[in-house]
Amino acid sequence: TQSCDAMQTGLFTYFAHPDLFFFKGSDAVYRKHMRLICREAKSCNLPLEVNLLGFFKNRNYPDRRFWELAAEEGCDVILGCDAHSPQMLNVPQVEKAALGLVEAYGLNLLDTVELRSIHK
């Protein structure tokens, strides 16, 4: 599909902040479109990032609705620290909270991802 072609450009190693959208409309509309993102990422072997900044700063993400869909679609995930300052690196309670989300939804957490080369 067209969106998978965009994900397979070779420029992306993972999909950062896939749950960042602050959507207040119909749950059915949210689920339809976010499920599409999850399916496309899965079909393109593109992991989704569980972004730790949301835990650190208590933001509107992680959006548990999104991660429920990602789990249903069998998506791979990685943890991304998104550190904006040195103090945000290696914060055990933040990592514990993220791992709790991964475990709660049964997400497939990858230890590492291989950087994709932009040179073919």
Q: Tell me: the pLDDT tens digits for 54-77?
A: 888 888 889 999 999 999 999 999
Question: pTM for this structure?
Answer: 0.87
Count other Cβ atoms within 10 Å, centred on residue 75: 21
CB 3 within 8 A of CB 36: yes
Q: Tell me: the pLDDT tens digits for 78-94?
A: 999 887 888 878 889 99
Sign of CA dihedral 97, 57, 112, 48: positive
